[in-house]
Amino acid sequence: MNPKPHQALKPLDDALAELLAQARPLAGVDAVSTFNADGRVLAQAAISPLQVPPQDNSAMDGYALRSADIGAAGVELPVSQRIAAGESGQPLQPGTAARIFTGAPVPPGADAVVMQEECEAIDGDGGQRVRINTRPQPGQCIRRAGEDIRRGAQVLAAGTRLTPAELGLAASIGLGQLQVARRPRVALFSTGDELVMPGEVAPGAMPPGAIYNSNRFFLRAMLERLGCEVSDLGIVPDRFDATVAVLRTAAEGHDLILTSGGVSVGEEDHVKPAVQSLGQLDLWQIALKPGKPFAYGRIGGAHFMGLPGNPVSSFVTFALLVRPFVLRLQGVADVAPNAIAASAGFDWPRVDKRREFLRARYGADGRLELFANQGSGVLTSIAWGDGLVDNPAGSTIARGDPVRFLPFAELLS
């Protein structure tokens, strides 16, 4: 018998490009309250129907005046009016000042605001006056109409993933409702007779070879953080018929089926033949450490992705491959996490033919330190770390070297 030919390792960037080519944005748009749109993806550009600010307004509590009336510090002016935010003042008479508060419209005729700390209020028989203790410049402490947003400007582009800042921006132009992409519907399940659920079996009663299903917890949480509607289908026994049955159910009404474990070629790994019996499947060996085995396919209208069973491998492949895929399904154009330049506070002399993602965190000196055990089953390294050091294939790292760092704050949002 001739040995099975060795499958070439696929570069991570090539695998991601192939996946994203399949990730066409989902049909369907939801209209949601701006209050409830955090984390959703904007399906329609937000165009401002007004300018912000709507008129010139004061940036400070102080006095609005004509700068030409103040030839030198110490000039006194009568206070002719008082203008609070939400009020409209009268045109400012030459040789007078208006008491004004932050956000209040600047009265016609005034061209500067002097903050109250640089003024001195004077009460006298002739009414209130103010001494201006500085010489103002035209335009100082005035927010100009439209300096933030012009009428008709695109404030938020379609495909923007909304954060609290963007929700506030949408509200500032009067948008109480937003058109957002439909949430991806994802069916999630794990395979393996060795898996048990926390709370169902006490630690002291665990049968030989059994392990708690940690993957189910972090994968579900990561999907929900990405805005997915998750159908948790639990743990599937290591049987071909059971795997086919759950896949058939999952393909109905879901955009993506996500599994962990069972995508190898062992006798108890039934996911591959089960998916192939219902649709199509590609098994990839990715030049990625941890996380070499990965599966992509389709069953009917649903995408299928199979992650490795080791928890760190499953976590890393989700962050690097599933996350951008799910974001692209929602219409996000730029799905790459923002990497930052950091300095290594460690030595990594080992050379690997795969691109490595090392669990690291910032040390007291501001440089990155590595978790001692970088094994693919050591989930502690993820909880301990601040992110992943992206180490190119065939590369070593010496203390002090610049490295590319992917913070978990980017990968988990």
> Tens digit of pLDDT for each residue in 54-79?
999 999 999 999 999 999 999 999 99
269 and 206 within one domain: yes
3-state secondary structure 32-50: EEHHHCCCCEECCCEECCC
**Confidence band, pLDDT 50/70/90 cuts, at residue 126:** low
The reply to whether 2 falls in a domain is no
243 and 193 within one domain: yes
268 and 196 within one domain: yes
**CATH number of residue 163's parent domain:** 3.90.105.10
pLDDT computed for residue 267 by the predictor = 44
Task: Decide which of 143, 169, 197 is a domain's last residue.
Answer: 143
Distance between start and end Cα atoms, the chain = 49
Task: Decide which of 295, 329, 363 is a domain's last residue.
Answer: 329
> Tens digit of pLDDT for each residue in 16-36?
999 999 999 999 999 999 999
Average pLDDT (369-377) is: 95
134 and 70 within one domain: yes
**CATH number of residue 240's parent domain:** 3.40.980.10
- Largest Cα separation within the chain, whole Å, is 112
The residue among 196, 199, 210, 158 whose CA lies nearest residue 179 is 158
22 and 156 within one domain: no
pLDDT computed for residue 357 by the predictor = 98
What's the rounded Cα separation, in Å, for the pair 350 and 373?
14
pLDDT computed for residue 195 by the predictor = 83
**Confidence band, pLDDT 50/70/90 cuts, at residue 3:** very low
Strands (E), 139-210: 142-143, 154-156, 177-181, 185-191, 195-196
Checking if the pLDDT of 314 tops 50, the result is yes
227 and 206 within one domain: yes
Kindly state the tokens that stand for 319: 């962050």
Kindly state the tokens that stand for 73: 């510090």
62 and 47 within one domain: no
Checking if the pLDDT of 1 tops 60, the result is no
104 contacts: CB under 8 Å, gap ≥ 6:
57, 58, 83, 84, 85, 86, 87, 89
Full domain range(s) for residue 232: 12-26+183-329
Residue type, 21: A
Strands (E), 96-226: 97-100, 112-115, 119-124, 127-132, 142-143, 154-156, 177-181, 185-191, 195-196, 211-212
Average pLDDT (261-275) is: 71
> Tens digit of pLDDT for each residue in 140-187?
999 999 999 999 999 999 999 999 999 999 999 999 999 999 999 999
**Confidence band, pLDDT 50/70/90 cuts, at residue 309:** confident
The answer to whether residues 65 and 77 touch, using CB atoms and an 8 Å cutoff, is yes
Task: Decide which of 303, 329, 355 is a domain's last residue.
Answer: 329
